[in-house]
Each structure stands twice: as C-alpha cells, then as structure tokens.
Amino acid sequence: MILARIGLLLALLGWASAPALAQRNERGGAPGAFDFYVLALSWSPGFCELDGDRERNREQCASGANLRFVVHGLWPQNERGFPSDCGPAGRTPSRIAMEQAQGLFPSEGLARHQWRKHGTCSGSSPSDYFADTRRAREKIVVPPQLAKSERDQSWTAIDLERAFAAANPGLRPDMMSVACRRGVLQEVRICLSKDLRDFRTCQEVDRSACRSREITVNAPR
C-alpha cells in the first residue's frame, strides 16, 4: 500500500514537472488582440522525413527540392494560448496578396492555410500580413552549421538555441524553442514583438521545447 502511494506521488510529480506541450487555442478571437508574434521556421528535411508522404506536402518534399529552413507561419500569440481563425469565413487572399508570399512558404497551399488560421488574427490585410512575414524572416540569420550542412547532424535542443542566439544579436534561448518529433528536428520558433523590431521572452513557447536528449538534424536530400 505504501509503495503504491509512493508510486502515485512520483507519477503526479512527474506529470506536474512535464513541459507544457499543448497551448490553449482560442478560436475566433478579435483580430489584432494578441501579445506578440512567433515566427515558425520549418526544417524541411526533418519535416519531410516525418510527413513527406502526404499529398499536400508534395511540393516541399519533392526529390531535388533541397530545401532547408522555410517559413511555416507567423503566428499571433498570447502570454497564455493563442488566437486562431479570427476572420470571416470565406475571406481569401487576392492574387496580388499571394505575390507577397512567393518564396517564403514552400507551397501556396500552406500560405493560404496560414492566412486563414493565423493571419486573420493579426489585424492586418493579407498583403500586409505576408509582407510582415517576409520582414520577420529577413530578420533571422540561420547559423552557418545549418545553412550549409550537407550531412545528418546530432544536436541537443539547447545547443541549437545557442547557435541561433549566437547568429542573431539580442536573441536568447528563452526567446525561442526547438520543436521535434521522434527525435527529429521539425522547426525552430522565435518570439518577436508585435512591431517585429525586437526579440522577446515567451515563457509558454519556451517551455514547449523538445525534450529529447539528442535531436537528429537531417541533411537536405
């Protein structure tokens, strides 16, 4: 009986100390009502290793695409949770707006999806949202170890964060997180102020970081 209670206590303590992997999604929030942005940069080789067999990922994961970091999205975020799907149903970006997204996202389908789910919460027009996404991406310098890698690498999450911090003055590990699945790097998420001028701390995002002891960073193929 005593051993069972000890086991239960340890289990509860382990659950309490686990990272907050899930964030509250507030669907239908008010456009423009958020605290900061998260720029999510997807590591294409890792993404394609895990999800490349899906038809919707054909452009990103096609043989010879040779993509590295691509924009997954620019996400309005709150200190706790995040808004989504804030715009009126059926509102879609114009062709002129989609020109702003060219070269940022690995596919037009992903760009449209990001606008519907996240861009509608920004309070900006589609053209301005994609222009802000480009401005956020251009602010980030990818560490040379990843920008030019031609072979699989093994990293820890904190070392990846430190490499990004070293390449981007003002960025610290508590202003970002590394996402992984099954020990494979998926993406890097960097927190920015609403005006996109500065990096900023983001406790909930930081706590959601990968907890794998080692992370495989697949080489482009």
CATH of the domain at 88: 3.90.730.10
In this structure, are residues 189 and 39 in contact, taking their beta carbons and an 8 Å threshold? Answer: yes
pLDDT score of 62: 79
Residue 3 lies in a domain: no
pLDDT score of 68: 92
Residue 11 lies in a domain: no
Residue 57 lies in a domain: yes
Q: Residue 166 sits in which domain range?
A: 34-217
Residue 5 lies in a domain: no
140-187 pLDDT per residue, tens: 999 999 998 789 999 999 999 999 999 999 999 999 999 999 999 999
More confident residue, 72 or 58: 72
Residue with tokens 């500065």: 198
Amino acid type, 197:
R
Residue 200 lies in a domain: yes
pTM: 0.85
Residue 170: left if φ>0, alpha if ψ -120 to 50, beta else—which one? left
Instruction: For the chain, give the percent of residues with pLDDT over 90.
Output: 68
Residue 12 lies in a domain: no
Residue 73 lies in a domain: yes
The three-state (H, E, C) secondary structure of the chain, written as one string? CHHHHHHHHHHHHHHHHCCCCCCCEEECCCCCCCCEEEEEEEEHHHHHHHHCCCHHHHHHHCCCCCCCEEEEEEEEECCCCEEECCCCCCCCCCHHHHHHHCCCCCCHHHHHHHHHHCHHHCCCCHHHHHHHHHHHHHHCCCCHHHHCCCCCEEECHHHHHHHHHHHCCCCCHHHEEEEEECCEEEEEEEEECCCCCCECCCHHHHHCCCCCCCEEECCCC
More confident residue, 138 or 1: 138
73-125 pLDDT per residue, tens: 999 999 999 999 997 755 689 999 999 899 999 999 999 999 999 999 999 99
Q: How far is CA 173 from the centre of its chain?
A: 15
Residue 25 lies in a domain: no
Q: How far apart are CA 143 and CA 87, in angstroms?
A: 36
pLDDT score of 26: 75
Q: How far apart are CA 76 and CA 120, in angstroms?
A: 9
Total domains, the chain: 1
